[in-house]
């Protein structure tokens, strides 16, 4: 199979939820942090697969595609109502297990990925509920050359505006959270809408379980000639994904976390699970 032709035929190729993960901060859903408090995390994300959802939502076989990302996230409470955060990928590597002749371009690219800057503001608090808004700016700092089949950056500066609702089940050590967001893309990429539902429960003093369901819907309002990078970013991407995460605290301010994510109903996205593990600390 000629994968250069596959690209030209608007299969838009693969993505690994990178854009959504940029939007998914670890600041406890709709709740903002207390003034002067911080949350800092370093994680490792791994994905590898040999199937792709094409634009019609049908799985097709491809050479093995692998994405390895080292991420750094930090958030800080500027006030009790406003939390600022940054999310970046200081190292990202994408690889397609095929020959350069068959693919017609680079088969492995690595380097610094994109940077996301954002803030969350608490709009209302009543009873056990809280409502907040967030704004995220994604800077295209990762390599995304037009003549390269593999990208480690989105190639466009885009903005995301979202709202979240959180509900505490206290005195039960649990919470519920729901959110929606809209992303305004540039350089011909389609805008998209995201939704997410989350529930968390603390089983013991230092062990918690979080389950999530989230999805993305493309507005399909972009340039049909924009294909994105093979394996990392794509235009008109859609999916429904779900994951389960365990969080374990060694002490009051240090812990580890990890999740396993899978999905369904994809379009222009790889069909493969995502594994993420990380360490975090708070102050």
pLDDT at 205: 86
User: What's the Rg (C-alpha) of the chain?
Assistant: 19
CATH architecture of residue range(s) 3-282: Beta Barrel (2.40)
The residue that leads in pLDDT, 54 or 207, is: 207
pTM of the model: 0.85
Average pLDDT of span 158-184: 97
Question: CA 238 to CA 267: how far, in whole Å?
Answer: 5
Q: Where are the domains of the chain?
A: 3-282
pLDDT at 147: 62
Judge whether residue 13 has pLDDT over 80: no
Average pLDDT of span 84-107: 80
Judge whether residue 17 has pLDDT over 70: no
Question: Could you tell me the CA-to-CA distances from 237 to 168, 219, 234, 270 in Å, in that order?
Answer: 33, 10, 6, 10
CA dihedral 92, 178, 191, 91 (to 10 degrees): -10
Judge whether residue 230 has pLDDT over 80: no
Judge whether residue 11 has pLDDT over 70: no
> Which range among 2-6, 46-50, 192-196, 219-223 shows the weakest confidence by mean pLDDT?
2-6
Read off the pLDDT of residues 245-273 as tens digits, 9 standing for 90 and up: 999 999 889 999 999 999 999 888 888 89
> Which range among 46-50, 90-94, 141-145 shows the weakest confidence by mean pLDDT?
141-145
Instruction: Name the β-bridge partners of 193.
Output: 182, 217
Average pLDDT of span 62-70: 92
Judge whether residue 104 has pLDDT over 70: no
Judge whether residue 27 has pLDDT over 70: no
Mean pLDDT (the chain) is 86
CA dihedral 92, 117, 167, 240 (to 10 degrees): -40
């Amino acid at each position: 199979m000629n994968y250069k032709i596959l690209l030209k035929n608007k299969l838009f190729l693969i993505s690994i939820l990178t854009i959504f993960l940029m939007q998914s901060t670890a600041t406890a859903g709709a709740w903002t942090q207390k003034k002067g408090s911080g949350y800092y995390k370093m994680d490792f994300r791994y994905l590898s697969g040999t199937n792709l959802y094409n634009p019609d939502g049908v799985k097709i076989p491809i050479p093995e595609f692998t994405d390895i990302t080292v991420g750094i996230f930090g958030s800080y409470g500027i006030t009790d109502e406003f939390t600022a955060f940054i999310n970046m990928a200081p190292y990202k590597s994408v690889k397609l297990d095929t020959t350069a002749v068959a693919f017609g371009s680079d088969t492995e690219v690595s380097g610094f990925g994109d940077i996301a800057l954002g803030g969350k503001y608490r709009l209302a608090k009543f009873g056990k509920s809280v409502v907040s808004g967030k704004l995220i700016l994604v800077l295209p700092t990762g390599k995304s050359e037009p003549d390269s089949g593999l990208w480690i950056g989105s190639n466009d500066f885009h903005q995301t505006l979202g709202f979240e609702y959180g509900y505490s089940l206290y005195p039960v050590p649990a919470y519920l959270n729901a959110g929606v967001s809209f992303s305004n893309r540039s350089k011909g990429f389609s805008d998209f809408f995201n939704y997410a539902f989350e529930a968390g429960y603390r089983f013991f003093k230092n062990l918690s379980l979080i389950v999530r369901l989230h999805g993305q819907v493309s507005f399909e309002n972009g340039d049909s000639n924009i294909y994105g990078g093979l394996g990392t970013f794509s235009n008109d991407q859609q999916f429904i994904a779900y994951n389960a995460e365990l969080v374990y605290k060694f002490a009051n301010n240090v812990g580890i976390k990890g999740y396993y994510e899978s999905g369904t109903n994809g379009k222009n996205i790889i069909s493969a699970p995502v594994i993420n593990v990380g360490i975090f600390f708070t102050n």
